[in-house]
Amino acid sequence: MKTAADIVRENNREMICIDQGRTVADAVDRMVAQKIGAILIRKEKRLVGIYTERDLLRNMADTGFDPAAAPVADHMSAPLHTMPHDTPLIKLTDCFLGLFIRHIVVEQDGEPIGMLSVGDILRATLLDQDEKIKELNVIASWEYYENWGWGRKKR
Q: Identify the pLDDT of residue 152.
A: 61
Write down the pLDDT at residue 35. Answer: 95
Number of neighbours of residue 93 by Cβ within 10 angstroms: 15
Nearest to 81 by CA among 64, 90, 94, 65: 94
Q: What is the mean pLDDT of the chain?
A: 91
The percentage of residues in the chain with a pLDDT greater than 90, rounded to a whole number, is 84
* Tens-digit pLDDT profile for residues 113-135: 999 999 999 999 999 999 999 88
pLDDT of res. 66: 95
Indicate the length of the chain as a whole number: 155
> How do beta strands 38-43 and 46-52 pair?
antiparallel
As a whole number, mean pLDDT of residues 23-42 equals 96
